[in-house]
Every structure is written in structure tokens, then in C-alpha cells.
Chain A
């Protein structure tokens, strides 16, 4: 038990929580944007894989981490655009397309990794770059608060900064209004002169960009390599983040923070030999409960 408290009191724990939270938050915001436009992006898991691999490959060949990051954003945005094309252009089933994207991405990234390195498992042979941690000047020097706030990964700050930005985008801009209108009632939106296809395409591209950022964080921050299937279900937890956050960016922040604490606890329990599977279930059970309570409450209100 002493060991347990010693681990909890560890100042590095907060940093671990943020490390775990960052990909969930980025991907969760991506899912949120797509879902509010009525095109729930089940393919987030696959997009993250593509982003992670792109980041590693491009940064290894150019020697520049930022170029790798940029490429991950562009490629995943493109994947989102293709998804929009398949769903709205070809008229394929949205959920089937998402499942297909996950499948294709899992297979495709392994394939590309094999052709690039000759290895199907890991990109260890490539010398890829990582994005830096940043210290905030002045604040870093403050005792207690400094180490807590400063010195995290740059994408962690970016993810936290994205929360108000996405919130403003969705709630305070004409584009956000159109996007929510399309998601709520596509026919009425079309009657009001909004191009449903174009708005949904934009939402999926944006969703892809966030997925790319989340993936790039995994391979260029969380660790410094790409491994096949390294997302390990985070894309699905991202859907859970969106559901738990009730479709708001701040809610997504709260949800990803809670899930990150749970996962950190799971890692800690694992190192102490406790049943960590229980904690690993949390990210998947809590959203079901939240969703059920939320929906049945709304239903009860409508009945009254």
C-alpha cells in the first residue's frame, strides 16, 4: 500500500496523465466535429494510424519533425476528404465506410511499413524525428506551479489550445452554425441553401486533420517510432470521449481527462501487480452509462 501512495504522490504522474490525455483529446475533438455534422467518423482509429506512419516516414526522409507533422495533417485531411467522397459521392454506407477505413488503414500502414523498411512490425530501422517538449519562459521558474504547467509536449499544449478554438468554431462562427444545422437536420439545412455535401466534406477533412495530429503525437511524442496497430483502440476511445463530452469541446476535455486518469491508474496498477484490466474497462463502460442516462432523460423530458 505504501508503494501505491508513493506512486500517486509522484510529481511525474500529472505529466503522465497529460501524455495519455493528448491523443484522446485530439482524436475526440476530431470525432466531435464529424459527429456534429452528422457524419460520425468511426474511421478515427484508422486515420490515427495513417497519421502516425506518415509522421515517422516523412520526418525520417526529410530529417525535419515539423515537416513530418505537417505531412501527417495533410495526408489525414486528404483521407477525410476521400471518406467524404465515398460517403456522399459514391453513396456508400457511412458506418461501413468507417469500418472499411479502419481495416484498410491497419493493413495499409503495415504494407507501407514493410515496403519502406522491410519490417512488418516496427519502424525501428528508420531514424525518425520527434517533436519537442517546450518550457514556458518565466512560468517554468515558479516553484510547484512551474513544473506542473511547463515542460510538456508541444502537441499537448496544442491539444489544450484546440479546445477553446473548436468551441468557438462550433458555437460562434457561421461555419459552425452551418455544420451543426447540417448535423441536426440535413434536409432543412439544404432548404436553407446550405450545401450539405460540402459542409460534411469540410467536417471530415477537419476531423482527419485532428486524427493526423493525434496519430503524429503517438509516433513523434508519446514514443519515437511507428509500430503496426500502435493506436490500440484509442480511436474508439475517442468516440467514447465525444459521447461522454455530450458533443461539446469542453466536455471532450473533461472526458479525456477522466479517461486519462483512469488509464494512468491502470498503468500504475499494472506495475504494482493489481488487476489493471478492471481500469482498462472504464473508458468503454462509462460512455455507455453516460449515453444511456443522457438519452433516457431526454426521452423522459419529451414525454412529459
Chain B
């Protein structure tokens, strides 16, 4: 037992080292171009921890990407590369706002029902490409990618002709009723009860994936479809069910984001947090328990970048480059499937077997 934990620690340590190296390689030259290199590094790396407010900002930034990360994890684990989480996130936010504004339920049920509505509407983004793949064999990667944009314009059509607040100058929804909005947890930040939902969802997702029969079946279908077929598992049904669940989570993520942070629905382009969720899923090695630290880490980078953008003359866009480089580095086979690393891990495990 000890040794298998040790073996997984080796992999974790490698990941941390690679990420640290990527951050240094990008950040050091950038800071050297500024008049005070030390201050740039300091603001970016330690700034996010210098106040309770900034720590709250990290959790606030981590909330949506933890949920979209979970959605991608569920989908990827079934062996599908469905990128519909981005569209699902957008549609989930729109659906929740529309439900809250148009149905107008009051009292404590307003927010949960709005989130449920958002989740159901958002799930379409993952269900359609999943169905086309399972039923007709259309590659889900391409169809889900373009379907995101189709949903964006469908959503905008709905926003401008049905939901739009005619008294507002810009293209936005009317104000979301206060009952439907999520409670704020920390003064001075937008951290809200959605963070609790995200943590609970990730833990439940982990328990489902690793400790239930249905989770095990899903992992078998995803990792070795041939074996799953020999076992007589209902592959089509399992695959489709994970696309539905992944879509529901993505929609929920969008709903939580809109009800937690905004007073109106204002997105007129894809917010990009579904893409970031894919990075979170990859970074967490498709393990729901690891999603929470992975999402917090990306939230930390985001807050560091924002501090840099506000206090120094360095645009916060640097975070985008950092994230992209990390994304590529942690999927690099040359590092993580390096024969030496694999041999080291195997030797640690084998010593336990003896």
C-alpha cells in the first residue's frame, strides 16, 4: 500500500516539477524585460496569497473550472473526446438565467430549480454529438467542436428576441431575481455557494468513478472497449449515459457561474471556461479527486495574472500562454511515458509485491 502511494507520488512530483519549469521558463524572461524583475515574480507567485480577499478570488476562479473539469473527466473516462462542455457551459448559464427570469419562482427553491433547468438545457451540447457518434459513427470531436458555435448563435438568437431587457442599452437579460442568485460566502469577493457545490460534486464524482460498479464499468468501456464487449457490457448505453451526465454537469457549471457572479446574463461570446475545464481534467489525470487542487492551481495562476495586470505593466494575458504551455507539457509522452520514469515506478511497485 505504502509503495503504491509512493509510486503515484513519483508521478505527481514529476508533474509539479514540469509545471514549475514551464512557469519559470516563461516568467523569468518576461520579468527581466521589466524594470523590476523581482517585483514581477513576487507579485505573480506570492501576490495571490497576500490577503484573504485574494485567496477568496482563487476559490472563485476555481469554482466553474472545477465543474467543467469534472464534466470533461466523466466524458473522457468513457473514451469519448466530446468537446461540448464549452457550449454546455454557455447554454447552462443562459438556461438558468432564462428560467429564473421567466418562470419567476420565489423562495429557497428558486436557485436549485434554476440550476437544474440550466443543467438540463446545457446537456444538449454534449448529448447531440454523443448521440451522433453512438448512433451514426460521426466523429464526436469535430461535431462537438462546431456544435458549440451553433449553440452560441442559437443562444444569442434567444437572448435578443425573447429574453432581452428592452430597457437596457446593451444586449443583456433582465435582472435575475435575488432569490435565484447564490449566496456570497466572503465579503469583498464573488465567492459563492457554488464553490461548495463544486467540491461536493467532485467528491461524489470520485466516489462514483472509483467505488461503484457503474464507475468501474465506465472505466472499462473507456480504457478497453474490446474487453468491455467480451464482458457483455452495454457499451452504447454506458457511453451515452456518461455524455448525458457530463453535459448536465457542464450545464450546471454555467448555471452556477451566472447565478453566482452576475446580476444579468451578459455573455455574447463563448466564455472559454469549458476549454479551461478540459485542461483541468487533463491536469488532474482524469481523477475527480485531483480536480479540486488542479482547478485551484489554475485559479491561482489567473489571480496572479490579474494582480500583475493591475499593479505592473504586464497584461494578464500572460496567463493564457502559461496555461497553454502547461497543457502541452503535462500531456507530453516524452516526459510521462519516459521508459526511465515508468521503470522507476514499476520497480517501486514490484518491491511491494515481493
Q: Which residues of B contact A95 (CB under 8 A)?
A: 81, 141
- Tally B residues with Cβ within 8 Å of A: 43
Q: Name B328's contact: one of A97, A288, A291 (CB within 8 Å).
A: A97
A103 touches B275 (CB 8 A): yes
A107 touches B143 (CB 8 A): no
B328 touches A239 (CB 8 A): no
Q: Which residues of B contact A292 (CB under 8 A)?
A: 132, 136, 138, 143
Q: Which residues of B contact A283 (CB under 8 A)?
A: 146, 149
A295 touches B137 (CB 8 A): yes
Chain A contact residues (Cβ within 8 angstroms of B): what range?
A: 35 or more
Q: Does B231 contact A (CB under 8 A)?
A: no
B136 touches A299 (CB 8 A): yes
Are A239 and B146 also in contact (CB < 8 A) when A90-B328, A111-B321 are? yes
Q: Does B315 contact A (CB under 8 A)?
A: yes
A287 touches B146 (CB 8 A): yes
B278 touches A99 (CB 8 A): yes
Q: How far is the CB of A82 from chain B (nearest CB, A)?
A: 10
Are A96 and B278 also in contact (CB < 8 A) when A103-B323, A107-B321 are? yes
Q: Which residues of B contact A278 (CB under 8 A)?
A: 153, 157
Tally of A-B Cβ pairs under 8 angstroms: 132
Q: Does A164 contact B (CB under 8 A)?
A: no
Are A104 and B320 also in contact (CB < 8 A) when A284-B150, A288-B132 are? yes
Q: How far is the CB of B221 from chain A (nearest CB, A)?
A: 20
Q: Quick one: CB contact mask for B289-325 with A, threshold 8 Å, 1 for yes?
A: 0000000000000000000000000010111110111
Q: Does A123 contact B (CB under 8 A)?
A: no
Q: Name A277's contact: one of B146, B148, B160, B331 (CB within 8 Å).
A: B160
B320 touches A106 (CB 8 A): yes
List CB contacts (< 8 Å) of A110-153 with chain B.
110-111, 114, 120
Q: Which residues of B contact A91 (CB under 8 A)?
A: 332-334, 337
Q: Which residues of B contact A64 (CB under 8 A)?
A: none
Q: Does A272 contact B (CB under 8 A)?
A: no
Q: Which residues of A contact B241 (CB under 8 A)?
A: none
In this complex, what residue of B is CB-closest to A278? B157
Q: How far is the CB of B257 from chain A (nearest CB, A)?
A: 19
A236 touches B331 (CB 8 A): no
SS class, residues of chain B in contact with chain A: helix
B154 touches A277 (CB 8 A): yes
In this complex, what residue of B is CB-closest to A275? B157
Q: Does A92 contact B (CB under 8 A)?
A: yes
Q: Name A107's contact: one of B141, B324, B327 (CB within 8 Å).
A: B324
List CB contacts (< 8 Å) of A67-92 with chain B.
86, 89-92
Q: Which residues of B contact A230 (CB under 8 A)?
A: none
Q: Which residues of B contact A162 (CB under 8 A)?
A: none
Q: Does A296 contact B (CB under 8 A)?
A: yes
Which residue, B161, B325, B328, has most C-beta atoms of chain A within 10 A? Answer: B328
Q: Does B147 contact A (CB under 8 A)?
A: yes
A288 touches B147 (CB 8 A): yes
Q: Which residues of A contact B324 (CB under 8 A)?
A: 100-101, 103-104, 107
B149 touches A288 (CB 8 A): no
Q: Which residues of A contact B137 (CB under 8 A)?
A: 295-296, 299
Q: Name A275's contact: one of B143, B161, B315 (CB within 8 Å).
A: B161
Are A104 and B141 also in contact (CB < 8 A) when A96-B327, A284-B146 are? no
Q: Which residues of B contact A287 (CB under 8 A)?
A: 142-143, 146
Q: Which residues of A contact B337 (CB under 8 A)?
A: 91
Are A233 and B149 also in contact (CB < 8 A) when A100-B324, A104-B321, A110-B315 are? yes
Q: Does B145 contact A (CB under 8 A)?
A: yes
A281 touches B333 (CB 8 A): no
Q: Does A93 contact B (CB under 8 A)?
A: yes
B145 touches A239 (CB 8 A): yes
A92 touches B333 (CB 8 A): yes
A281 to B323, CA, bound (A): 30
B136 touches A86 (CB 8 A): no
Q: Quick one: CB contact mask for B235-266 with A, threshold 8 Å, 1 for yes?
A: 00000000000000000000000000000000
Q: Which residues of A contact B81 (CB under 8 A)?
A: 95
Q: Which residues of A contact B153 (CB under 8 A)?
A: 277-278, 280-281, 284
Are A86 and B328 also in contact (CB < 8 A) when A99-B278, A284-B153 are? yes
List CB contacts (< 8 Å) of A8-53 with chain B.
40, 42
Q: Quick one: CB contact mask for A262-304 with B, threshold 8 Å, 1 for yes?
A: 0000000000000101101101110110011001100100000
Q: Quick one: CB contact mask for B66-85 with A, threshold 8 Å, 1 for yes?
A: 00000000000000010000
Q: Which residues of B contact A108 (CB under 8 A)?
A: 317, 320-321
B315 touches A99 (CB 8 A): no
Q: Which residues of B contact A42 (CB under 8 A)?
A: 145
Kindly list the 9 A-B residue pairs having the minimum CB-CB distance in the complex, ordered from nearest. Answer: A107-B320, A91-B333, A104-B324, A284-B150, A277-B157, A296-B136, A100-B324, A107-B317, A90-B332
Can you report 22 residue pairs joining A to B where beta carbons are below 8 Å apart? A91-B334, A92-B329, A92-B331, A95-B141, A96-B278, A96-B327, A99-B278, A100-B324, A103-B323, A104-B324, A104-B325, A107-B317, A114-B315, A120-B317, A239-B145, A277-B153, A277-B156, A281-B157, A284-B153, A287-B142, A295-B138, A296-B138
Could you list which residues of chain B lie within 8 angstroms of chain A, going by C-beta atoms?
Answer: 81, 132, 135-139, 141-143, 145-150, 153-154, 156-157, 160-161, 275, 278, 282, 315, 317-321, 323-325, 327-329, 331-335, 337
Instruction: Give 13 new A-B contacts, CB below 8 A, not counting A114-B315, A277-B153, A296-B137.
Output: A89-B334, A103-B324, A107-B317, A239-B146, A243-B142, A275-B160, A281-B157, A284-B146, A288-B138, A291-B138, A291-B139, A291-B143, A299-B137
